[in-house]
Amino acid sequence: MSYLALSIADQGFSVGGMFAANVALARVAGREEYGTFALAYSFLNFLAGLHNAAIIEPYTVHGAGRYKFFSPEYRWLIWRNNGWLVLALTALLLIVWRVVLLTRYASASGAMLGLALSSAVILTSYLLRRILYVERKVRLAARMSSVFFLSLCICLAAGASAKALSAFSVFLLVGLTSVVGALVILREVPRPSSIEPFMRAQPHHWQEHWKYARWVLATAFVFQFANQAYYWLVAGLLSLKEVAALRAIAMIVMIVDQVFTAITSLVLPAMAARYGSRQIAELLSLWKVYLVAFLIVGGAFFGGILLIGKPTMHWIYGGKFDDVSTLLIPLGLLPLLMGVGHTMNAALKAVEKPSLVFYAYLASGATTLAAGIPLMTHLGLRGAVYGMLASAGAYTITLGIGFLRNVLRLHVPLPTSRQPEAIVSS
């Protein structure tokens, strides 16, 4: 239970820092300025999805499972390749920044430049925290994120006092304080290690890595149609001010998502370890506890939204988004819908069936196109909220079908008629 508490604290501090950055900028900047930050932040989430697919998730599943006896070598291999990947992503973002300068969204160029200059540090900090989880050093992960949170809050307060907060400066502050957080656990940063023993024992590790990562990578692209694409569609069909409003509402709902993420960070490696040892009954027992926890947390959160959602939103944003606070109630159902799906998502990944997660996001993305766009066209921002709920429902239903067919059947005993008959001696 201490691991769970530390994981929730870690996730709370990590995402709490970004929550504080969003709130600070939303309170001092105009809606359009905050809308540009929200668009750039959605792009960061997109890149984080690619980074998670290519690096973090394969490392989590394989590092806790099949390669756990080669931990130092595999850890260094992943760390080294992460360095090349984030450099490539930084170059890509600098290109995007230059392109944005030539479009009608030139006002977003400052946010994109800030993102380009800070993305490598932010994404690498995500990997470092996951390494600590795989090695069961959750206390150190919580220490790292707490220092990040406190230092970022101090910097945001100083920036607000000096009237120096902007989409550009907020991204730079997040990158800077991510480095400060990493400094307190500097000894845990992977050191160069000979990978020859690992390469000899696992000559096909890249094929296995790609076999897993390709589906997660495809999922990261498709996921945008189920989640981040709503910000892009609102920007295109409505306005940057509406993007700011949608982000302000979503930030409240995302609080419970971080509790779910904290639990998943602990459960996914544990599930992968059980599957690696072929302990299917134990894996399913863990999933049931996982599901009940999500239902309790999601239900309690929705009850809180019904009771104090509007006044809480008024207090957080200083009344700036009161005109859209009624949308908080329907969007409060999103964690419940997604949470049930997330438990099956983790189970399918643990049994190395990421292709089925891809299909779930594909169904969700198709729902965005088929239902989300028409709803936005006719109902505006309210239609975007309803579309997000519809996409979440499609995601969970599709995962449910895959879970029944590919996880539950692993523990279904053979029919009596197919079991070998006992040999009876005369």
Query: With 60 as the cut, is the pLDDT of residue 207 above it?
Result: yes
CB 107 within 8 A of CB 38: no
Distance between CA 211 and CA 348 in Å, rounded?
Answer: 15
Give CA–CA dist 255/274, Å, rounded.
29
Rounded CA-CA distance 314/316 in Å is 6
Task: Pull the structure tokens for residue 341.
Answer: 């799906």
**pLDDT tens-place string over residues 56-99:** 877 877 766 666 666 677 778 888 889 988 998 899 889 988 88
- At 81, give phi and psi (nearest 5°): -70, -30
Handedness of CA 13, 49, 249, 260 (dihedral sign): negative
CA–chain centroid gap for 36, Å, is: 21
Q: What is the reported pLDDT for 418?
A: 41
Joined tokens for residue 191: 């050191």
- Give the whole-number percent of the chain exceeding pLDDT 70: 85
Show me where the domains of the chain are located.
1-194, 215-410
Q: How far is CA 388 from CA 235, 325, 335, in A?
A: 15, 16, 11
DSSP labels, 73-107: HHHHHHHHHHHHHHHHHHHHHHHHHHHHTTSTTGG
Average pLDDT over residues 284-305: 89
DSSP labels for 334-357?
A: HHHHHHHHHHHHHHHHHTT-HHHH
Pairwise CA distance, residues 38 & 26, whole Å: 10
How does pLDDT run across 112-156, given as a tens digit for each residue?
899 999 999 999 999 999 888 888 888 898 999 999 999 999 999
- As a whole number, mean pLDDT of residues 309-326 equals 90
Give me the helices (H) in 52-70, please: 57-64
Convert 374-406 to b/e letters by CB count within 10 Å (16 or more is b).
Answer: ebbeeeebebbbbbbbbbbbbbbebbeebbeeb
- Residues contacting 159, CB < 8 A, separation 6+: 24, 165, 169, 170, 173
SS (H, E, C) 366-402: HHHHHHHHHHHHHHCHHHHHHHHHHHHHHHHHHHHHH
Would you say 73 and 197 are in contact if contact means Cβ atoms under 8 Å apart?
A: yes
pLDDT in tens, 360-394: 888 988 898 899 899 999 999 999 999 999 999 99
